[in-house]
Structure 1
Amino acid sequence: MKNTEKVYVHPAPIRVWHWINAAGFIVLVATGFQIRFAEVFSFLSLRDAIVLHNYTGFLVMADYLLWLGYYLGTGKITIYFPKLQDFIPKTIAQARYYGCGLFRGEKNPHQMTPENKFNPLQQQAYVGLMFFLVPVQIFSGLFLWQVKKHEAYLGLLGGIKVVDTLHVLLFFFFAVFLIVHFYLATLGHTPFAHFKAMFTGYEEHHH
């Protein structure tokens, strides 16, 4: 008989950030598709889609500052950075698990705790996402929101076409990321275990 241990991993501010961010990203992707492909994908007027996209962008930006402020203020930002002394073997073990161990019923080599929340692959992904790609998308969106006001910055970055192309490429990346993230979230001990944990804060460990 397996014993179940509940571990409080997701504090309330992070759960609030996560679900606002998730809803915001979905709206941004949907409205982004309409703005770019209005002739084939239309559920709002183009004007309404742009307005909703802009306001949602500001909401996601504020939510990002909530996330950053919480982790910097509590000093817990270190959970995003891997420990170099065992980084390579843990990365290989985690990659092997996702590549074949998962499908053989093997145990995940990483056990989530409040101090060790992310496995090495997640840490690498989130460092790139949260400290580089999301800020780039936020700033490129701000520059495109008021082109005239930010002409000088756009010029330094190669012009509006360069910034717009970057924003669109990242938009496609985040659309794919949402799908991958949803799939990986189903890989708990039950398909909805991680979803439940992001509402309650508690991850269940089965021994």
Structure 2
Amino acid sequence: MDGNRRWARKRRLPAIAGHRAGVETIRRTLRAARERGVEYLTLYSFSTENWSRDAEEVSALMALLEETIRRETKTLVEDGVRLMVIGRLHELSERLQKAIAGAVKETSPGTRGVMTLAFNYGGRAEIVDAVKRLVGDGVAGEEIDEAAIAKRLYAPEHPDPDLLIRTGGELRVSNFLLWEVAYAEMWATQVLWPDFSVADLDAALTSYAERERRFGR
């Protein structure tokens, strides 16, 4: 979800205005994705590197996440969408952790799609945490394989992503789902996230459908 701050700067607005506009884009993208048969949608909301941003912006982002979760949970339940949040959640405030846990529990019966927010997330951090779980579980070195690591990632029940969409003209993975996107197709656009439209989503899905996936072969 790249481009929120640039979107705000272009309009001479504070950064949080761009993030709020980005929330609206999440709403319409989730709705459109479900209508098009997309079962899993994972959004990179806040990285482990984002703590280095201005403290006021970080604080506003934390408040926005809590506000959005509390406001949108009812809609997710009504739509049958299950919410998951992955990342180092234990580093967040107790208040925010409680809000996240409540929303995850309330939406858990959902069977019509899964929306995952990667928050305080880093792909390298996820792999490090998986290795720590291996050590904690007492797994012997000769028993460690891809399956052993994969089952200890933040969301082991999720299938690997088929398509990685980059907005804002970015052409890099940016520490996102490093293990899981090994064979994902990529699609990039110059469009900033708040301006990302249903037509843009359709363009990405059409491009994906026209490709021959090789899975490294």
TM-score, normalised by the number of residues in structure 1: 0.28
Larger RCO of the pair (alpha carbons < 8 Å, separation 6+): 1
Report which of the two has the higher share of helix.
Answer: 1
Q: Radius of gyration: which is bigger? A: 1
Report which of the two has the higher share of strand.
Answer: 2
